Amino acid sequence: MAMRELVVDELGSGERLDVWLAREVEGLSRTAAQRLVGSGAVLLNGAACESKSCRLEVGDRVLVALDEREVRDADSVIAPSAIPLDVRYEEGGVVVISKQAGLVCHPSPGHEDDTLANALVARYGSVHLGRLQGEERPGIVHRLDRDTTGLMLCARTDEAQGALQDLIRLRELDRRYAVLVQGYVAPETGLIDVGIARSRRDRQRMVASDGGRAREAITTFTTLERFDAGVRDDGYSLLECHLYTGRTHQIRVHMAHINHPVVGDPVYGQGDARKNLSLTRQFLHSWRLSFENPETGERLSFVDALPEDLSQALRSIEDRSLGRTQRGARLVPALLGDAEALEEVVVLGMGDKER
């Protein structure tokens, strides 16, 4: 055990104790700093300080008892990996990216060093990412399934990470997904308010349930375009789904629950390659994101046209279209990459939050 005394300078004024310690003590992770504070191993101006979030002032003297096992390379938990990132916005602690198919958000069995978290560490450095989700999820605010593409938020500081998670919790983050489902969806709009729980039979699957184990899950949808049935399928419907909660596989589970599984879904969908338009992943794309930047108060709006594989699948059935709805006439051209239509949708997201 070694004792180290540190003095807070102007750069540390107003900073949280755990953040400051992790920066000042080389190799000390944010989590390790929090453990030290919680265990009473940190003295602030001669008195034990047990609040990791206390704010420092210039001239404060911090005495910390360091165990060598606590001091390590902060990047060692998550190794940096040079995975390309499509960054759409980067301001202060807030980052918006467009995630590619096949990219897992954080390490899990079988994915130790090829995840979004590894890519974020490579781009920003481990100590410059929010850690509120834990050491193995640096910068992660919310998740997209491995083969779901599109817009998502990341955070470079704990403060930004916490504020962005609050937006989700308070339902102030407007997330819209483009989804192609099996069958003819008759309603123009719909609400699915059914809880989601993990399957008892298969831990990799989720199930729609109103049982005690289920967590609240709310999805609304708007029908954009319908497609006639073919010889070997029941037709298709293109929807825009709006998440009010963020449960695992939520849209995929809810769509299967109303008997309109997502095209290409390998878990909850139909296995027939013809019905799935030869897609090898679910037709699910996070295409619109609107929110107020918690650091600046600026209203932000982003759109992301369909990637090539989903765009091709949609174009392959365009001759079977039964027509677009009023909303579809406005949004589908943007989904297919029309520049003018995309700009209009950005402006739409800059207005009051849609319902």
Residue 189: beta bridge partners? Answer: 222
- C-alpha separations of 10 from 15, 51, 59, 128 in Å: 10, 21, 8, 19
145: annotated active-site residue: yes
* Candidates 145, 147, 158, 174; catalytic one: 145
Distance CA 43, CA 5 (A): 9
Angle subtended at Cα 227 by Cα 237 and Cα 192, rounded to the nearest 5 degrees:
15
Separation CA 296–CA 287 (nearest Å): 23
Nearest residue to 52 via CA among 41, 67, 66: 41
Catalytic residue numbers, as ranges: 145
